[in-house]
């Protein structure tokens, strides 16, 4: 049976989605992938790079106002010290595997300098990219550091709006989630609050969760399918939230925290070995970089009292993005330990499990 996304499968998910039910429903946001799969190689390679561009590949050099949150720090997302102090970042957000952060960071700097050479040369601008990782060493030769600068540049150069591919693509190629094949997933919500309408989009690189903890729309699916797991919760998750609603950095930090609640809806308790890192950015308030601006900045922001619908949208979109990543998975055989088969979450099995649980409750 052809793969269907969570909403298409008929899961009782809340909220109104945008046109593509993807982070690209936020106008201007583009997503690109470079997927590296060498199934016949020794050792096997299944990895890649994901690029998320707040203003597209051809957009102006300008700040994306931002905030971040670390639920558990056993992972890496570069540039967050400046996001917390400066309240913004510049350029693509890239996701890859744990041992490829350095080369991807190098590539993003190169892309920024190449694309905006005049500004970097004339104004002594500096680049401090946001690059995040999750560990794909079960399904890929993570120790071989197979991602190259050219791979990262290709992910950026292939970025586009519209529908977004999910599952075993880009940085999510070799990831595992709740014991099933995980990877890249996305979703969006239309938000209306106080007479203002906007869009919230979410993207996850899902590589986390103990098998028995998987929860789908409140149903303990993992406990039913996996029984009592003896495994520790490992891996990591990166969550990116985009919006076109005007927000200040302190508000975006609050939004980033709610992404962690969206992850919790799927069952995770944020295990010790899981790096759970979240970034939220707004494409509103277009302005020049502060280094190139006048003495006063004029920024609009949504009233704090109107944020509850935004928080709900973030939780819903992150939750659905994780489910979409799971449902887009494909079975893979592990590299370490060799021979272990990582199954995909079958949509029909999921639906029947949820129906059986409901019948038992009734």
**Residue 351 falls inside a structural domain:** yes
The pLDDT confidence band at residue 3, using thresholds 50, 70 and 90, is confident
What pLDDT sits at residue 2? 59
> What's the pTM value of the predicted model, to 2 decimals?
0.97
Is 10 within a domain?
no
Distances (CA, A) of 187 to 202, 261, 308, 317: 5, 15, 19, 5
Query: Does residue 140 have an active-site annotation?
Result: no
Percent of the chain with pLDDT over 90: 87
Contact (Cβ atoms closer than 8 angstroms) between residue 318 and residue 241: yes
Q: Per-residue pLDDT tens for 159-181?
A: 999 999 999 999 999 999 999 99
More confident residue, 226 or 95: 95
Residue 1: which pLDDT band, with cuts at 50, 70 and 90?
very low
Residue 15 lies inside a defined structural domain of this protein: no
The CATH number given to whatever domain includes residue 99 is 3.60.70.12
Which tens digit of pLDDT belongs to each residue from 221-243? 999 998 766 677 889 999 999 99
Mean of pLDDT values over 112-120 = 93
Query: In the prediction, which pLDDT does 134 show?
Result: 98
Q: How crowded is residue 353: how many other Cβ atoms within 10 Å of its Cβ?
A: 18
Within-domain flag for 167: yes
Residue among 184, 188, 276, 282 flagged as catalytic: 276
Residue 3 lies in a domain: no
Alpha carbon separation from 330 to 163, 166, 167, 173, 268 (Å, rounded):
20, 11, 8, 10, 22
Tell me which of 100, 187, 236, 268 is the catalytic residue: 236
* Whether residue 276 lies in the annotated active site: yes
pLDDT score, position 112: 97
DSSP-derived secondary structure for 328-361: T---EE-TTTTT-EE----HHHHHHHHHHHHHHH
Catalytic site residue 236?
yes
Asked if pLDDT for residue 352 goes beyond 90, the answer is yes
Q: Mean pLDDT over residues 12-37, rounded?
A: 98
Q: What is the per-residue pLDDT for 228?
A: 67
pLDDT tens for residues 273-307?
Answer: 999 999 999 999 999 888 888 898 889 999 999 99
Please give the residue range of the domain that contains residue 129.
27-289+301-361
In contact, 193 and 253? CB cutoff 8 Å: no
Number of domains in the chain: 1
Tens digits of residue pLDDT in 240-272: 999 999 999 999 999 999 999 999 999 999 999
Let me know: does 197 contact 190? Beta carbons within 8 Å: yes
Q: Who wins on pLDDT, 67 or 118? A: 67
Is residue 12 situated within a structural domain? no
**Closest CA relative to residue 96, chosen from 200, 210, 174:** 174
Residue 140, domain member (yes or no): yes
Mean pLDDT of the chain: 95
Asked if residue 312 is part of any domain, the answer here is yes
The catalytically annotated residue of 168, 268, 274, 282 is 274
Answer whether residue 75 shows pLDDT above 90.
Answer: yes
Percent of residues, the chain, with pLDDT higher than 70: 98
Q: Is the pLDDT of residue 18 over 90?
A: yes
């Amino acid at each position: 049976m052809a793969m269907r996304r969570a909403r298409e499968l008929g899961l009782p998910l809340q909220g109104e989605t945008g046109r593509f039910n993807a982070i690209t429903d936020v106008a201007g946001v583009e997503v690109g992938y470079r997927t590296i799969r060498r199934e016949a190689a020794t050792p096997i390679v299944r990895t890649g790079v994901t690029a998320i561009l707040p203003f597209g590949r051809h957009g102006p050099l300008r700040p994306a106002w931002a905030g971040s949150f670390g639920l558990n720090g056993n992972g890496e997302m570069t540039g967050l010290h400046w996001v917390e102090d400066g309240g913004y970042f510049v350029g693509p957000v890239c996701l890859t595997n744990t041992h490829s952060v350095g080369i991807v960071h190098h590539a993003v700097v190169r892309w920024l300098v190449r694309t905006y050479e005049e500004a970097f040369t004339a104004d002594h601008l500096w680049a401090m990219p946001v690059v995040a990782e999750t560990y794909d060493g079960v399904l890929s030769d993570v120790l071989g550091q197979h991602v190259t600068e050219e791979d990262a540049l290709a992910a950026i150069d292939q970025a586009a709006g519209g529908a977004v591919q999910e599952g075993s693509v880009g940085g999510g190629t070799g990831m595992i989630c709740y014991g099933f094949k995980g990877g890249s997933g996305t979703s969006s919500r239309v938000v209306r609050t106080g007479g203002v309408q906007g869009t919230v989009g979410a993207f996850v690189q899902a590589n986390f969760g103990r098998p028995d903890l998987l929860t789908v729309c409140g149903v303990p699916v993992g406990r039913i399918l996996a029984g009592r797991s003896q495994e520790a919760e490992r891996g990591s998750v990166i969550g990116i939230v985009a919006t076109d609603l005007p927000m200040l950095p302190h508000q975006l930090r609050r939004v980033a925290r709610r992404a962690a609640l969206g992850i919790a809806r799927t069952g995770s308790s944020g295990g010790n070995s899981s790096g759970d890192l979240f970034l939220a950015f707004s494409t509103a308030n277009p302005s020049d970089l502060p280094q190139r601006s006048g003495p006063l900045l004029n920024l609009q922001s949504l009233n704090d009292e109107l944020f509850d619908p935004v928080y709900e949208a973030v939780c819903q979109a992150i939750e659905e993005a994780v489910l979409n990543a799971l449902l887009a998975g494909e079975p893979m055989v592990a590299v370490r330990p060799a021979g272990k088969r990582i199954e995909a979450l079958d949509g029909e099995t999921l639906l029947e499990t949820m129906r059986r649980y409901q019948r038992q409750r009734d």
